[in-house]
Structure formats: structure tokens, C-alpha cells
């Protein structure tokens, strides 16, 4: 049996941009492709994209030139401008590593917006996999901040 672990990762960030801009940065695949890798050393490639309730994205990611992870995102609920709920599976070299229920909640906050991501993870690779999710989301929130600051 694998090294089973469960965890909940919650990360949030305030952006000096309206909720519609933050939401659009996720829902528009061209925008999301520009900031979705957690660091400049990493790469995320979307092989398919269907952003609607019941739709799915297929992606590959990892260090640039070494995309050993593959994933599927299935959209369960979308409320335009404020909420995205999806399930996600991530495999490494064909072996299932994690299954998650993820919520992205965008809300008005003062002069901008607050994005809260809650990732409920079942890891088959132990607690390090859960910490990898935390580090990944922290990195993409940084990347999203840079993207929003330079594209608006």
C-alpha cells in the first residue's frame, strides 16, 4: 500500500484588482497559462481546456523540460466572478499521487479582492505531497500577483 496521508491546505491573498479580473485570470486559458507554473523553473502545459460545470482540463507539469506530472481537473461548480470548485487528480509517471477537492473563492475586499484557495488532499505519497500542494499554491499566487500587476 502507498503512504496514505490527508490534509487541508488553505492559502489566500489580497489583490489590488477587482474580483472580475482575478476570476478572469483563471477562467481564460490564455491568461491562466501565463501564470500557472509555481516558479520560473517550472512549466505547466494545458493539453485540453473545458471551463464549464462538468468540463475538464488535462495538463502536464514539472520542471521545465521534465513534465513528469499529469493531471485532470473536473469542474463541479462555477459561479461567474466568485467561485470555482473542482476535483483534481495528479499522477507522476503514471502512478496516482493525489486526489483533491479544491475551492477557489474570490470576493471583494476593500479596494480589491481576496482569493482563498482551499485544497482538501488525499495523498498517496505521504505528507510531503500535501506540503507540495501548499508550496505550489503559494507559488502560483505569487505568479498571479505578478501577472495581474503587469497585465492591467
Find the domain containing 94 and state its range.
5-151
What CATH number did the domain enclosing 45 receive? 3.30.530.20
pLDDT at 152: 57
Return the closest-CA partner of residue 25 out of 136, 120, 150.
150
- pTM for this predicted structure: 0.94
| pLDDT at 1 > cutoff 60 | no
Rounded to 5°, angle at Cα 16 from 14 and 17: 105
Average pLDDT over the chain, rounded to an integer: 95
pLDDT at 92: 93
Tally the domains of the chain: 1
Amino acid at each position: 500500500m502507498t503512504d496514505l496521508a490527508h490534509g487541508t491546505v488553505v492559502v489566500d491573498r489580497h489583490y489590488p484588482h477587482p474580483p472580475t479580473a482575478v476570476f478572469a485570470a483563471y477562467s481564460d486559458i490564455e491568461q491562466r497559462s501565463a501564470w500557472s507554473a509555481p516558479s520560473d523553473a517550472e512549466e505547466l502545459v494545458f493539453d485540453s481546456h473545458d471551463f464549464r460545470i462538468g468540463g475538464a482540463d488535462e495538463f502536464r507539469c514539472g520542471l521545465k523540460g521534465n513534465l513528469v506530472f499529469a493531471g485532470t481537473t473536473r469542474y463541479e461548480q462555477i459561479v461567474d466572478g466568485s467561485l470555482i470548485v473542482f476535483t483534481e487528480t495528479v499522477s507522476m509517471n503514471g502512478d496516482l499521487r493525489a486526489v483533491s477537492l479544491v475551492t477557489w473563492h474570490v470576493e471583494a475586499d476593500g479596494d480589491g479582492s481576496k482569493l482563498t484557495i482551499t485544497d482538501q488532499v488525499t495523498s498517496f505519497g505521504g505528507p510531503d505531497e500535501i506540503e507540495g500542494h501548499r508550496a505550489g499554491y503559494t507559488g502560483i499566487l505569487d505568479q498571479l500577483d505578478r501577472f495581474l500587476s503587469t497585465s492591467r
